[in-house]
Chain A
Amino acid sequence: MNRNVTSHATTVLYDQPPADAPQEQAPVVVRRGLMSRLVNRFSVLGLIGLFIVVFWLVIAFVGPVVAPYKGGAFTSTEVFGSYSAAHLLGTDYLGRDMLSRILYGTQYTVGLALAATVAASVIGTFFGLVAAVSGRWVDEVLSRLFDALISIPSKILALVVIAAFGSSIPMLMMVAALAYIPGAFRISRSLAVNIMTLEYVQVAKARGEKLFYIARVEVLPNMIHPMLADFGLRFVFIVLLLSGLSFLGLGVQPPNADWGSLVRENIGGLAEGAPAVLMPAVAIATLTVGVNLLIDSLRRHGARSHGGGQ
């Protein structure tokens, strides 16, 4: 661990000069330098992933604005219609435009999952830091508690909470966050425990710094990078969890619909091979595969610059 951190510091130094050098030349060169840096940083697959992720993030915000048909308008008499000029992705089980339904659904799938991931990561990291910097007993109690929570499979835990409290948008967000707090806790704790053994933390302790200061200034900034890759993975799992719940009819409730509920609504069109049932599922797959490709290439890059690599 020790060696890892120092080698990371040196690679940052090596990375810097080529980035600075072209900036003093003509702007065109700078742009090419940026592009090639981007290409260097990510593999082709990583770039594809980045593009997909950015695309869906943008759609999550502007989806309802760019949707060709507003709201849940019934625009066609044809049910489970196929691809056409008027309805690019066909129509659903009530004759609504499928493209618009998916664009509207993006804010639920992406937005809900993003909010839940942020909540899970922040809360999990907080408790992980607390466990790592405070004494043995706090660490032991927190670790046991979260270990127990981790041994309830996330979908099962989500089902229990929904059985008890019913399903609503805030509830879904809390459920997804709750299910993935233990994972975030585990990773942040193990990172923080490793950092706590390093010399600069010992120095800070010897200086007589408060625990809060050590956690905030010495430990937290050094675990952000690995936590970010983990953030992406957690996002993928939460997207899958939430759309799975919606698919079971226990997630986002009608008339609102995320991509999982869209698959469920239109499952009747499966026998005809209607795009209405395939397209939302494909949308989920592109989002999760995109995030995975992005993280994978970030990790590879990280591994290479650490001098290791698989």
Chain B
Amino acid sequence: MKAHAQRLVAARLGLALLTLLIVSMVVFGITGLLPGDAAQQALGQAATPEQVAALRHQFGLDQPAVTRYLQWLLHVVTGNFGTSLSNNLPVSELISTRLPNSLVLAGLTALVSVPIALFIGILSAMYRGSLVDRVLNVLTLSTVAVPEFLVATIAVLIFAVKLRWLPALSYLSDVSSFGALVRTYAMPVMTLCCVIVAQMARMTRAAVLDQLNASYVEMAVLKGASPMRVVLRHVLPNTIGPIANAVALSLSYLFGGVVIVESIFNYPGLASLMVDAVTNRDMPLVQGCVMVFCAAYLALVLIADLAQIVSNPRLRQR
């Protein structure tokens, strides 16, 4: 009977949508309601009350907060985030030109970091307490704690300034061959990987260790199975859920990491668009970017949840 699993999936989907709704309320509350009068700010101190009232009417600020929120929500649902204040382009257009770049960056980072992290995590769990484990522990612990901009500046210093192997800024225009692609993406991806790999490896190690303590592992060892077989055949299938969670959590950390990395390498992605929008206090653009980020985050968490349900036979067929 798959009805149970389907109900679980439906419940997770509903929860994600509810969360997104609350997020939209919070975002609208912070950006649209709390900061005070946008019309007054736009016109400055010298404006007459009539001018302010006219602009308020034009912005729709004279309507009650709930009406404004519902109108905004209706527009957001249909993909209309309004027009950017700084260059009068539709926000959705600005976002859709930048989003693919960010997705490529995130995808490449995931592609590189996930295998490395799983390898490190499983290795240190298999040899727990050994020198390898302790060295890896201190290494990952320190990398988690180091700010992204330190990693990025050191990478620039070594690879762009001293060795002159890689360009210090990422220009997407000259991506024509595979070599150029590697050269452009090497440093941003490397910086992001540093932070994520450490986190993911630690969580993977904890998940594998958790299973290694189970009695079925002892059984397998007593049966005479080799350590490799115990981990690959017995432990790993049971850790898919927790590991998927760890991967999703770490990848969601990307959203914070890209903010710094995209600005350092001048990479034309969504996060650098958002930082510019914040600097110019371009509210519609900020709202649009945040909603995209949060939706992406929720999608990641949802996928991890679903992976957990699907990978657990007890939930699949009961």
User: A282 and B150: CB pair below 8 A?
Assistant: yes
List A residues 139-182 near B (Cβ within 8 Å). 144-145, 147-149, 151-156, 159-166
A156-B256, A270-B153 are known contacts. Are A292 and B141 too (CB-CB below 8 A)?
Answer: yes
Distance of A282 Cα from B142 Cα, bound (Å): 12
A282-B150, A292-B142 are known contacts. Are A155 and B19 too (CB-CB below 8 A)?
Answer: no
User: A267 and B259: CB pair below 8 A?
Assistant: no
User: B23 and A152: CB pair below 8 A?
Assistant: yes
User: A263 and B142: CB pair below 8 A?
Assistant: no
Q: B interface, by DSSP: helix, strand, loop or mixed?
A: helix
Distance of A296 Cα from B141 Cα, bound (Å): 9
A45: chain B residues within 8 A (beta carbon): 138
A271: chain B residues within 8 A (beta carbon): 161
User: A289 and B146: CB pair below 8 A?
Assistant: yes
Interface string of B3-40 (1 = CB under 8 A from A): 00000000000000011001100110011001100000
B283: chain A residues within 8 A (beta carbon): 163-164
B148: CB under 8 A from chain A?
yes
In whole Å, how far is A85's beta carbon from the nearest beta carbon of chain B?
25
A116: CB under 8 A from chain B?
no
B144: chain A residues within 8 A (beta carbon): 292
User: A250 and B147: CB pair below 8 A?
Assistant: no
Distance of A155 Cα from B150 Cα, bound (Å): 17
List B residues 137-174 near A (Cβ within 8 Å). 137-138, 141-142, 144-150, 153-154, 156-157, 161-162
A263: chain B residues within 8 A (beta carbon): 149-150, 153
Q: Which one of A31-39, A191-199, A236-244 contacts B?
A: A236-244
A153-B252, A164-B31, A270-B161 are known contacts. Are A244 and B147 too (CB-CB below 8 A)?
Answer: yes
Distance of A267 Cα from B264 Cα, bound (Å): 10
Pick from B19, B145, B293, B298: contact of A288, CB under 8 Å: B145
A247: CB under 8 A from chain B?
yes
User: B147 and A154: CB pair below 8 A?
Assistant: no
B290: CB under 8 A from chain A?
yes
Distance of A243 Cα from B145 Cα, bound (Å): 12
User: Which A residue sits closest to B145, measured CB to CB?
Assistant: A288
In whole Å, how far is A242's beta carbon from the nearest beta carbon of chain B?
10
Distance of A93 Cα from B281 Cα, bound (Å): 28
A9: CB under 8 A from chain B?
no
Pick from A144, A163, A282: contact of B281, CB under 8 Å: A163
Interface string of B223-249 (1 = CB under 8 A from A): 000000000000000000000000000
A226: CB under 8 A from chain B?
no
User: Which A residue sits closest to B205, measured CB to CB?
Assistant: A310
Interface string of A243-280 (1 = CB under 8 A from B): 11001111000000000100100010011010001100
User: B30 and A155: CB pair below 8 A?
Assistant: no
Q: B interface, how many residues as a size bin?
A: 35 or more
User: A148 and B297: CB pair below 8 A?
Assistant: no
A119: CB under 8 A from chain B?
no
User: A153 and B147: CB pair below 8 A?
Assistant: no
A285: CB under 8 A from chain B?
yes
In whole Å, how far is A174's beta carbon from the nearest beta carbon of chain B?
12
Distance of A162 Cα from B35 Cα, bound (Å): 10
Pick from B147, B263, B278: contact of A243, CB under 8 Å: B147
Pick from B142, B154, B156, B256: contact of A155, CB under 8 Å: B256
B274: CB under 8 A from chain A?
yes
A161-B30, A247-B260, A248-B260 are known contacts. Are A152 and B294 too (CB-CB below 8 A)?
Answer: yes
List B residues 115-150 near A (Cβ within 8 Å). 128, 137-138, 141-142, 144-150
A151-B23, A164-B30 are known contacts. Are A244 and B277 too (CB-CB below 8 A)?
Answer: no
In whole Å, how far is A111's beta carbon from the nearest beta carbon of chain B?
18
User: B23 and A284: CB pair below 8 A?
Assistant: no
User: Which B residue sits closest to A146, measured CB to CB?
Assistant: B22
Distance of A282 Cα from B146 Cα, bound (Å): 9
User: Which B residue sits closest to A286, measured CB to CB?
Assistant: B145
User: Which A residue sits closest to B158, measured CB to CB?
Assistant: A273
User: Which A residue sits closest to B137, measured CB to CB?
Assistant: A296
List B residues 270-318 near A (Cβ within 8 Å). 274-275, 277-279, 281-283, 286, 289-290, 293-294, 297-298, 301
Q: Name 9 A/B residue pairs within 8 A (Cβ), A-sorted.
A: A156-B289, A160-B290, A164-B30, A164-B34, A164-B283, A165-B34, A244-B148, A247-B147, A250-B275
By Cβ-Cβ distance, the 10 closest A-B pairs, closest first, are A148-B22, A288-B145, A155-B256, A281-B150, A163-B278, A153-B255, A164-B35, A289-B145, A292-B145, A163-B286
List the interface of chain B (C-beta within 8 A of A).
18-19, 22-23, 26-27, 30-31, 34-35, 128, 137-138, 141-142, 144-150, 153-154, 156-157, 161-162, 209, 252-253, 255-256, 259-260, 263, 274-275, 277-279, 281-283, 286, 289-290, 293-294, 297-298, 301
Known: A152-B27, A163-B277, A163-B283. 10 other contacts (CB 8 A): A151-B298, A152-B293, A156-B293, A163-B282, A164-B30, A164-B31, A244-B147, A284-B146, A285-B150, A289-B141
